[in-house]
Amino acid sequence: MRGRLIFPFLAELHRLDTRATAEADPDGAGPLVAGYDPDFKESVLVDADDDGVGERVRAEHPPVRLPCQVEPEAFDALRMYAAGNSPKSRFELVFHFADLEREGLVEAATGDALVRPGDRLGALYDRAGELVQAVRTPPGLYATEARPIGFGLHMSRPSRNLLLVTFGDRQVATGRVS
């Protein structure tokens, strides 16, 4: 017995495809030849819609919906900066390893969960599949930590059963340092 989730919802996850991002040619015939910046080791920004604001180049695996417990800490809390408002949001989702295993999201050789930092939360649904909360992107909510929890709950055959994933927003305005 590995336990179960309490009051589960479905989380729509968009996992970062690092290989496709690295192999992407984000600006076609332009000077960029890869989706990652060689100096900063993060995805490049390209102004694809010519509005003066660079959009992050990002390739994602097809979305997957997984049962989870939702632990919201903050949602669109107001943060004011000299350059404008940058709302703060933070969610913690608890996934069961049995669900991850069923979806092929546990690496067999290492036991690592394939839900990792950099993955994006798209929306939350109820168990019937009805939308509960969509996540606006940008700014989006991105995984910043994925930590196994709940080890050893079974007396005769101890195992881990839960994965705690923290999702946070990315700052969209800049603060002024004085």
Task: Output the 3-class SS for 19-70.
Answer: HHHHHCCCCCCCCCCCCECCCCCCECEECCCCCCCCEECCCECCCEEEEEEE
Instruction: Locate all alpha helices (DSSP H) within the chain, ordered by sequence.
Output: 18-23, 97-102
Write down the pTM of the prediction: 0.79
Identify the pLDDT of residue 86: 54
Mean pLDDT value of segment 108-119: 94
Give the model's confidence band at 178: pLDDT under 50 very low, under 70 low, under 90 confident, else very high: very low
* pLDDT surpasses 80 at 72: no
pLDDT at 173 over 50: no
Are 146 and 106 within 8 A, CB to CB? no
Q: What percent of the chain has pLDDT over 90?
A: 43
